[in-house]
């Protein structure tokens, strides 16, 4: 049995497409709505989704974990309202085979992001995983189940599923501005609550950089400082991207720092 888990808030323009794309494959759809004032919930009910209403607390993991707790399937597919499952001939057979799969704990899905300029960027993230109480999202934003999965199976590798998701959330400039403001608010609270969290500083730096804020480089630099001093720094998957973004953000009087950053990275990860 496959459960699809989704969280929503005022997503009437996109949630129908998302649910239509997963309805042929999911045995149940769980929608946790965090305060929609439009027709989001009514649209979700048209797809026989089970609706759970809860207040928004500026914590994406909390909302997503509420959806996971309601899932009854053996496997869970986590999808956003502005995503669509890209169907192909392999999807149905692959998802049916999960019932007999005793080896894998999770799968990575390629996410194709359509940008405002029409270009498409692809990244990979764990979105299909076993329904286990120890697998939960963490982080108030840019949340992921990867930490809990690696805690369960420290040395395991995660295979790539033979299908992808199409994400259209970056297509609207106006929607992007609202997302940046919302994300900045949550990220500022995150680094305040966890000032030693390198990943939180990294994500804050990227968000401020997207908004053209001057403090973006300082946030990326703080993330780098915390990363290279961390006892478990080799396990941080974002380190190469962090160094690339940090070096790319240096300008003017900050440019001489590039040599020091490269030397510190070589020392820390060699």
Residue 212 pLDDT: 78
Helix, strand or coil, per DSSP, at residue 40: helix
Judge whether residue 214 has pLDDT over 90. Answer: no
Closest CA to 161 of 128, 121, 120, 112: 128
Pairing type for strands 164-167 and 106-114 reads parallel
Q: Which of 14-28, 72-86, 191-205, 233-247 has the lowest average pLDDT? A: 233-247
List, for residues 137-155, the tens digit of each pLDDT value: 999 999 999 989 988 988 7
pLDDT tier for residue 171 given thresholds of 50, 70 and 90: low
Judge whether residue 163 has pLDDT over 80. Answer: yes
Q: Which of 125-129, 134-138, 211-215 has the lowest average pLDDT? A: 211-215
Closest CA to 115 of 162, 69, 175: 175
Which residues in 70-105 are b (16+ Cβ under 10 Å) and which e?
A: ebebebbbbbbbbbbbeeeeebeebbeebeeeeebb
Tokens linked to 164: 């992808």
Residue 170 pLDDT: 59
> Which residue in this structure is represented by tokens 């996109």?
14
Superfamily of domain 2-167: Spore Coat Polysaccharide Biosynthesis Protein SpsA; Chain A (3.90.550.10)
Q: What is the pTM of this model?
A: 0.82
């Amino acid at each position: 049995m496959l459960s699809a888990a989704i969280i929503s808030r005022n997503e009437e323009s996109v949630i129908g497409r998302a649910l239509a794309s997963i309805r042929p494959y999911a045995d149940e759809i769980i929608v946790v709505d965090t305060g929609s004032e439009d027709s989001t919930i009514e649209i979700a009910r048209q797809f026989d989704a089970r609706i759970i209403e809860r207040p928004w607390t500026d914590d994406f993991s909390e909302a997503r974990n509420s959806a996971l707790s309601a899932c009854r399937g053996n496997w869970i597919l986590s999808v956003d309202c502005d995503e669509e499952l890209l169907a192909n001939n392999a999807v149905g057979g692959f998802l049916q085979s999960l019932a007999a799969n005793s080896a894998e704990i999770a799968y990575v899905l390629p996410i194709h992001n359509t940008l405002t300029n029409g270009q498409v960027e692809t990244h990979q993230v764990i979105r299909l995983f076993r329904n286990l109480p120890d697998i939960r999202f963490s982080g108030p934003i840019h949340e992921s189940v990867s930490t809990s999965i690696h805690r369960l199976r420290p040395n395991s590798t995660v295979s790539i599923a033979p299908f992808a998701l199409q994400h259209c959330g970056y297509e609207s400039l106006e929607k992007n501005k609202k997302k940046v403001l919302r994300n900045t608010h949550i990220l500022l609270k995150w680094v305040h609550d966890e000032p030693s969290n390198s990943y939180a500083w990294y994500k804050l730096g990227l968000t401020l950089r997207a908004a053209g804020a001057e403090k973006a480089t300082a946030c990326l630099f703080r993330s780098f400082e915390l990363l290279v001093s961390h006892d478990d720094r080799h396990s941080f998957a974002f380190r190469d991207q962090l160094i690339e973004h940090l070096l790319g953000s240096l300008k003017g009087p900050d440019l001489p720092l590039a040599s020091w950053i490269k030397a510190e990275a070589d020392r820390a990860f060699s």
